[in-house]
Amino acid sequence: MINKNEILQTINMIKDQHLDIRTITLSLSLFDCICDSGKKTAQRVYDKIVSKGGNLVKVGQELSGEYGIPIVNKRVAVTPVSLIGESSGGFVDIAIAMDKAAKEIGIDFIGGYSALIEKGFTAKSKEFLNSIPEALSKTEKVCGSVNVGSSKAGINMDGVKMLGGIIKELAKKTKDKNSIGCAKFVVFCNSVNDNPFMAGAFCGIGERDASINVGVSGPGVVETAVRKAGNVNLTELAEVIKRTAFKITRAGQLIGEQAAKRLGVEFGILDLSLAPTPKMGDSVAHILEAFGLERVGTHGTTAALAILNDAVKKGGIMASSRVGGLSGAFIPVSEDIGMIEAARKGTLTIDKLEAMTAVCSVGLDMIAVCGDTPASTISAIIADESAIGMINNKTTAVRIIPVFGKTVGQEVDFGGLLGTAPIMPVHNESSKEFINRGGLIPPPVHSYKN
């Protein structure tokens, strides 16, 4: 039973603590769109997205109005395009069709310009990788990702080497817009099939024809709960976060079920991730500082983040019938006002962020570096982050933005939810010889389980 106090608590979470549904994402399989030519495949892709997703925005607006819960983004995620165009090619045509369909139905983003290359390439998957800069620079709403490793397969270092250059090329093609194309592209290790968050959302091979996946977010709610808890020990603080995460998740479960019902598709999963925004009072970094850290990035940050991530998962799992996606705490630098402040002060570095990614959701996210950063250095950053994911059997990722014309200490404004990023320093020492070795980093011994 829900009592009056719980209702009032939820109202306060929405009104004063920035509780929202960050995204409802329609996951669509495109396998039935495959044709013998890229043009035909692209047309079928457009037709299916418009047909199946035409009411998504309307339903989101209706639910937000009826329940009083903001639904920030409406998105679509599709089958990895590298698979859809494997026989026909025409990858850029498919991206343009996706973008046209996204604009037609009024959604914020469409994900799935993606490839899975953790164990190696096909001839077409290499062609797809080389199409990424053109496809993402020619489109506005299309997001892409590449999975380069997994705990079972190891890390495809030939792919990692390619992607350093591809990211630099994408940055160049969009340099007149602060290299914004790179904000729509992420490199994964252990990517998941049902992630509703961009830029890495796609509809995995084993997914249904169509389903609704929901991402719920409430960093401000958790920060308020932590500060109200006062001077309790860390065990008690974890319990406070668990109870708070339960309440946040119930709102997402309700919206997800209703959205799926009205769209005539299955309810897929609820992603429990705490996704910050640049707004004051909506910061994961400020939650960690409420634990007692003077500034995020100082010693103790990784331990505090581990407590937060675990408590969010434990509390949320009990509140939802289907938990999936990434589920935890996101630490995108440019999208979190507390992370931005710490990066400006130099407390938060790429090395410290890398350590933090061992215990939280995803990885090095929305990090801006100098445009002249060597491609091999970007590849090496991807390799380091992928190794953390592979060894720890968790999803890790890199979304890095080489910004041309900017130097360390300057800042770049991406606008909206993407926020403002201080240009962060990287190590000057070269990793080129290491990256040029290529090959496959073998999976860890503990991956051999059947």
- DSSP state letters, 248-284: HHHHHHHHHHHHHHHHTSEEEEEE--B---SSTT--H
Q: How far is CA 153 from CA 83, 202, 362, in A?
A: 19, 20, 19
pLDDT of residue 229: 92
Q: Where are the domains of the chain?
A: 1-331
Residue-level pLDDT at 1: 43
The length of the chain is 450
- The predicted pLDDT at position 13 comes to 60
Q: Which pair of structure tokens corresponds to residue 4? A: 């009056």
pLDDT at 2: 45
pLDDT attached to residue 4: 47
Instruction: Return the pLDDT at 401.
Output: 96
Structure tokens at 101: 């369909």
Residue 327 corresponds to which amino acid?
Answer: S
Q: In whole angstroms, what is the distance from residue 227 CA to residue 405 CA?
A: 41
Strand partners, 188: 147, 397
Supply the DSSP symbol for 179.
Answer: T
Tell me the two tokens of residue 89: 């090619």
SS3 334: coil
Please, are residues 203 and 112 in contact by the beta-carbon 8 Å criterion? yes
Alpha helices in 17-55 (DSSP H): 38-53
Q: Return the H-helix or E-strand segment holding 16.
A: helix 4-16
Average pLDDT for consecutive 10-residue bins of the chain (450 residues)? 51 61 93 92 96 95 87 94 92 97 96 96 94 97 97 97 97 93 96 93 93 88 90 95 86 88 93 82 91 96 95 87 86 92 94 94 91 97 97 95 92 86 95 96 87
Q: What is the largest CA-CA distance in the chain?
A: 65
What is the pLDDT at residue 165? 97
In angstroms, rounded to a whole number, what is the distance separating the alpha carbons of residues 296 and 288? Answer: 7
> Which distant-in-sequence residues (6+ apart) come within 8 Å of 123 by Cβ?
none
CATH number among 3.20.70.20, 3.30.43.10, 3.40.50.2300, 3.40.630.30, domain 1-331: 3.20.70.20
pTM of the model: 0.93
| CB-side neighbour CA atoms (13 Å) of 220 | 17
Beta-bridge partners for 399: 365
CB 328 within 8 A of CB 313: yes
Angle between helices 234-263 and 301-317 (to 10 degrees): 50
Residues contacting residue 335 through CB under 8 Å, at least 6 positions apart: 275, 276, 277, 278, 365, 366, 417, 418, 419
405 sits in which H/E element: none
- CA gap 286, 294 in Å, rounded: 10
Q: Is the dihedral of CA 309, 314, 318, 321 positive or negative?
A: positive
Coil, helix or strand at residue 213: strand
Q: What is the pLDDT of residue 163?
A: 98
